[in-house]
Amino acid sequence: MRNTKGVQKIAFFFLFLATLLIVVPVGLIVVIIIQKGLPAINWQFLSDIPRQGMRAGGIFPAIIGTFYLVLGAIIFALPIGLLAAIYLSEYAKDNVLNRIIKLAIVNLSGVPSVVYGLFGLALFVVFLKFGASILSGSLTLGIMILPIIITTSREALESVPQSFREVSLSLGASKWQTIRHIVLPNAIPGILTGTILGLGRAAGETAPILFTVAAFYLPQLPKSIFDQAMALPYHLYVISTQVPNVDEKIRYGTALVLLSLVLFMNLVAIIIRYNFRKKKKW
């Protein structure tokens, strides 16, 4: 018996250690980037165009570019993803076609992001002749985050109690009215959470925008959705590997801005989810 307790203690120790190991890299990344990047952050860095071959000036065009790309991706992916999720959770019967659709969504989320980039290049840039543009990049990012939006939206819809639907129908509401007035309003926090997680993912990815939109160096703001644009993740890649003699401060400053952006979005998602759980009482 004494031995069992000892074994248990050792097991707990290793389980705790493994869990702790997850925290360490996250903490280190954040600390190092803040430490090295913070000195670079000032108003000029955030609001100026890059100067002297990206060795000075700011990163404003990249911030704006990322903002446009994320916005475009969500305009494209949210309606499609939400409608697909409503179809899958409320209408789809369990048949071959719908199983294929579900399988496709799972596979879509497993596709490496560089493959999305190639796909976007082939379809949007070349075939549809959108060229390397904000439109192509947004659509590519949109396809990439579709599975996140569909999956989280479906979960949110399915977590609305069946009894709400029954009551609504029994009061003479049509199926669509039930979805519109009862199911959707109660699923919105979950859908929002998924959307913001998708946004964070879209803001941080480099590979999908590599061939479809990102400009190496473009010291001006895009004028239309058919223009190329700079974007934070790609800009970071460029100044870290392609341009010699860039001050470390600028590289880490760019990383800090990108990281803050993504963490901020995730934080918003967490807050929404937390408030929703607190209010939920059924």
Binding site for other proteins (CB under 8 A): 93, 161, 163-164, 166-174, 177, 181-182, 186, 280-282
Q: Which is nearer to other proteins, 3 or 170 (CB)?
A: 170
For 156, what's the count of Cα atoms within 13 Å in the CB-facing half-sphere?
A: 29
Phi and psi angles of residue 280, each rounded to the nearest 5 degrees, phi first = -70, 125
Q: Which is nearer to other proteins, 43 or 282 (CB)?
A: 282
DSSP bridge pairs for 77: none
Q: How far is the CB of 192 from other proteins (least distance, A)?
A: 17
Question: Cα–Cα distance between 70 and 73 in angstroms, integer?
Answer: 5
Q: Which is nearer to other proteins, 27 or 161 (CB)?
A: 161
Q: How far is the CB of 157 from other proteins (least distance, A)?
A: 15
Q: Are 249 and 172 in contact (CB under 8 A)?
A: no
Q: How far is the CB of 185 from other proteins (least distance, A)?
A: 9
Q: How far is the CB of 270 from other proteins (least distance, A)?
A: 22
Q: Which is nearer to other proteins, 4 or 163 (CB)?
A: 163
Q: Could you tell me where the beta strands, DSSP code E, fall in the chain?
A: 50-51, 56-57
For 51, what's the count of Cα atoms within 13 Å in the CB-facing half-sphere?
A: 9
